């Protein structure tokens, strides 16, 4: 099973976001350097093997023995942790919990991919959330302490992966992770802007680029929490803190930081599409949450909707014609891109003015808001096989009632995953 992790870097070389798997490989390699090739420490070995079981599970979701191994080794780690005084947890305990968190994140993704029952998804998300809370508590406890020195760079690498793969946790933990990641980005930005060493600046950028996808993941995860509030699935107290956090992310992305511009300049074209969609969709959702009744001027919100539609169409079309060596990966990516495009066009539909709005506004005030644009949304959804969503969108535009609005929001959040 350890060999499964040792060869990650080779097996995933041609995958999207290969850097994430490369980082995980480096973490495992450092662990084996510290604890021996077979990892002599009982608890650390069990934690790494739990993660290996999760990787094998996502590579072969039909093989239940892999999930059983994940459960068995996770239980051993939890038992070892319960024997320890939690007030004395150090970096070693962080890595125990880190590997369990990554394992549960992989399990959750596999459950989503194979359409497991809601109860299974909730259990995986609950366990991931517990590990996220534990990891963050230890990180904060060990701030500026020398205990982490022997782990070298992987102390920060592990935190990067935790931010990246922890977005499937429960809302409270997602908010905590998002805040932690944003604050860390601000510190990196400060280091970048104050450094006069070109090599150091380049190193900061490259280290940030490897897991920069976490930025957009958090934006859209926070936005999903806001949307779910409309369907009554989230508590009201979260709304204020989530709204504030989204605004902080948007401010960070638009304030003209040369640091963030350089980081995102390394993104592939597909990632750039997702980045724009995540940013614009977050603005639309903030707009909708603040005033869903269109009592404000709708023009800005509608322009965002037009941009969402345009970029979503581009993502979808490019995905269809992108050539892969691996046909299975091509099919997986095309399905993911189509679902994303449908979701973001659904978000756009939330702020497209209804027909009677055009009748109440003078034509000269509508240079970019033709009723024909509404037809583009309907045609796109139907062309992607989302006929049910297109029907709900049309009913929402026609009636502007709360029932159809909430149904559309529910459908959008289902596509969020």
- What is the pLDDT at residue 249? 93
Where exactly are the structural domains of the chain? 1-169, 170-267, 294-417
> 92-116 b/e with 16+ CB inside 10 Å = b?
bbbbbbbbbbbbbbbbbbbbeeeeb
Distance CA 385, CA 391 (A): 12
Give the single-character DSSP code of 265. T
Residue among 292, 296, 311, 395 nearest 350 (CA) = 292
Residue-wise pLDDT tens digits, 20-76: 888 898 999 999 999 998 888 899 999 999 999 998 888 876 668 888 999 999 999
Report angle CA 83, 87, 93 to the nearest 5 degrees.
60
* Confidence band for 396, pLDDT divided at 50, 70 and 90: confident
What value does the mean pLDDT take over residues 227-256? 79
* Confidence band for 318, pLDDT divided at 50, 70 and 90: confident
Q: How many other C-beta atoms can be found within 10 angstroms of the C-beta atom of residue 196?
A: 6
Distance CA 178, CA 367 (A): 38
Residue-wise pLDDT tens digits, 194-236: 888 889 999 899 888 888 889 999 999 999 988 887 666 555 6
Structure tokens at 194: 């104050």
Helix (H, G, I), strand (E, B) or coil at 350: coil
Residue-wise pLDDT tens digits, 79-117: 999 998 888 888 999 999 999 999 999 999 989 888 889
Give the single-character DSSP code of 168. T
Residue 314 CB-density burial (10 A; 0-12 exposed, 13-18 middle, 19+ buried): middle
Structure tokens at 412: 């959008």
The residue with tokens 């909730």 is: 122
Give the single-character DSSP code of 38. T
Residue among 255, 202, 246, 189 nearest 220 (CA) = 246
Which has the minimum average pLDDT: 129-133, 142-146, 399-403, 409-413? 142-146
Helix axes 327-349, 372-383, angle to 10 degrees: 150
Residue-wise pLDDT tens digits, 273-310: 999 999 999 988 888 876 444 335 556 777 888 899 99
At residue 366, does pLDDT exceed 50? no
At residue 407, does pLDDT exceed 80? yes
Which has the minimum average pLDDT: 278-292, 308-322, 343-357? 343-357
Residue 56 · residue 5 · CB < 8 Å? no
377 contact partners, CB below 8 Å, separation of at least 6: 309, 345, 348, 349, 352, 390, 393
Residue 368 CB-density burial (10 A; 0-12 exposed, 13-18 middle, 19+ buried): exposed
Residue-wise pLDDT tens digits, 162-204: 999 999 999 999 999 999 999 999 999 999 988 888 899 998 9
Q: Which helix (H) or strand (E) holds 25?
A: helix 18-35
* Confidence band for 254, pLDDT divided at 50, 70 and 90: confident
Distance CA 173, CA 246 (A): 15
DSSP characters over 210-227:
TTTHHHHHHHHHHHHHHH
Mean pLDDT of the chain: 84
Distance CA 360, CA 328 (A): 51
Distance CA 313, CA 103 (A): 34
C-alpha to C-alpha distances, 92 to 43, 84, 144, 151, nearest whole angstrom: 9, 12, 16, 9
Distance CA 350, CA 248 (A): 23
């Amino acid at each position: 099973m350890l060999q499964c992790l040792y060869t990650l870097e080779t097996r995933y070389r041609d995958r999207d976001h290969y850097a994430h798997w490369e980082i995980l490989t480096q973490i495992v390699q450092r662990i084996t350097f510290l604890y021996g090739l077979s990892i002599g420490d009982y608890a650390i070995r069990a934690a790494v093997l739990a993660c290996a079981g999760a990787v094998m599970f996502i590579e072969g979701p039909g093989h239940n023995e892999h999930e059983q191994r994940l459960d068995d080794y996770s239980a051993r780690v939890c038992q070892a942790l319960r024997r320890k005084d939690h007030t004395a947890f150090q970096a070693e305990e962080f890595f125990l919990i880190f590997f369990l968190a990554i394992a549960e994140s992989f399990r959750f993704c596999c459950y989503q991919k194979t359409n497991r029952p809601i109860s299974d998804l909730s259990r995986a998300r609950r366990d991931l959330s517990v590990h996220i809370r534990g990891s963050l508590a230890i990180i904060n406890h060990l701030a500026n302490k020398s205990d982490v020195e022997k782990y070298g760079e992987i102390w920060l690498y592990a935190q990067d992966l935790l931010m990246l793969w922890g977005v499937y946790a429960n809302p409270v933990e997602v908010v905590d992770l998002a805040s932690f990641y944003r604050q860390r980005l601000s510190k990196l930005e400060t280091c970048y802007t104050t450094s006069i060493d070109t090599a150091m600046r380049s190193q900061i950028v490259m280290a940030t680029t490897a897991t920069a996808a976490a930025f957009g993941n958090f934006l859209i995860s926070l936005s999903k929490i806001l949307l779910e509030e409309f369907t009554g699935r989230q508590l009201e107290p979260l709304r204020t803190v989530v709204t504030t956090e989204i605004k902080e992310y948007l401010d960070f992305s638009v304030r003209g930081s040369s640091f963030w511009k350089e980081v995102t300049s390394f993104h592939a074209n597909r990632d750039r599409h997702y980045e724009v969609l995540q940013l614009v969709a977050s603005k639309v959702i903030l707009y909708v949450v603040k005033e869903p009744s269109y009592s404000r001027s709708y023009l800005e919100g509608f322009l965002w909707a037009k941009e969402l539609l345009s970029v979503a169409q581009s993502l979808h079309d490019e995905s269809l014609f992108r050539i892969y060596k691996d046909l299975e990966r091509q099919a997986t990516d095309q399905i993911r891109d189509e679902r994303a495009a449908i979701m973001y066009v659904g978000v756009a539909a939330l702020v497209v003015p209804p027909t009677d709005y055009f009748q109440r506004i003078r034509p000269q005030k509508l240079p970019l808001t033709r009723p024909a644009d509404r037809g583009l949304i309907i045609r796109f959804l139907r062309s992607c096989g989302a006929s049910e969503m297109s029907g709900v969108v049309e009913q929402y535009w026609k009636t502007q009632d709360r029932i159809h609005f909430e149904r559309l929001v529910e459908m959008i959040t289902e596509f969020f995953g």
